[in-house]
Amino acid sequence: MKWLKITDNCIDGFDPAGFLKDYEHRKKTAETLRIRLADLEDAGINAISYEGERVQTSNMSNPTERLAILMLHIERQIAYHEFWLDACDHALEQLSEDERWILVAWYIKGCSQMDAIEHLHLERTAMFNLKKRALEHFADFLIGYTTPPF
């Protein structure tokens, strides 16, 4: 396993803490996009109006094409967010129970320092060492994850 050096919360230019802090935002964004896509699918082609004057231009003038491209774009955004959520989940699953708890509690749920110390029954220094090790291991597992195919 490659041991990476953490400097200023970044590991070789990668910020695993920021990645974890983004977890809930990515999750909410993916859900919002799924709802938007479902709304577009429900409205469908029948909701598109072809009335009005049509002029041939170099831009897309067909409303069906615009809707299809918008839906593809949203599907791609959903896939992107889900890829990174899956990568994060996979990396978290590889950690020890204490490492996983400290990262989820600290970065995703916003747990306080005192709550973490009490839950883990550790002194402050030991808790920060655990958090640092957990971030290094998390980054190791994420780096092993392939980049998204888009």
Give, for all 150 residues of the chain, the pLDDT tens digit. Answer: 333 344 444 445 567 888 888 899 999 999 999 999 998 888 765 555 555 555 555 555 577 788 888 899 999 999 989 988 998 999 999 999 999 999 999 999 888 888 888 888 989 899 999 999 999 999 888 876 655 655
Give me 11's structure tokens.
């590991």
Q: What is the CATH number of the domain that holds 100?
A: 1.20.140
CA 71 → CA 62, 75, 81, 126, distances in Å?
Answer: 15, 6, 16, 49
For residue 29, being part of any structural domain is answered with yes
- For position 4, what pLDDT does the model report? 39
- Structurally, the chain folds into a number of domains equal to 1
- For position 9, what pLDDT does the model report? 45
Q: Tens digits of per-residue pLDDT, 91-115? A: 999 999 999 999 999 999 888 888 8
pTM above 0.75, yes or no: no
Backbone angles phi, psi at 90, to 5 degrees: -60, -45
For residue 113, being part of any structural domain is answered with yes
- For position 6, what pLDDT does the model report? 40
- The answer to whether 36 and 74 have CB atoms below 8 angstroms apart is yes
Parent domain of 92: 19-46+60-143
For residue 102, being part of any structural domain is answered with yes
Number of Cβ within a 10 Å radius of residue 47: 10
For Cα atoms 77, 79, 83, give the angle at the middle one, nearest 5 degrees: 120
Number of Cβ within a 10 Å radius of residue 31: 12
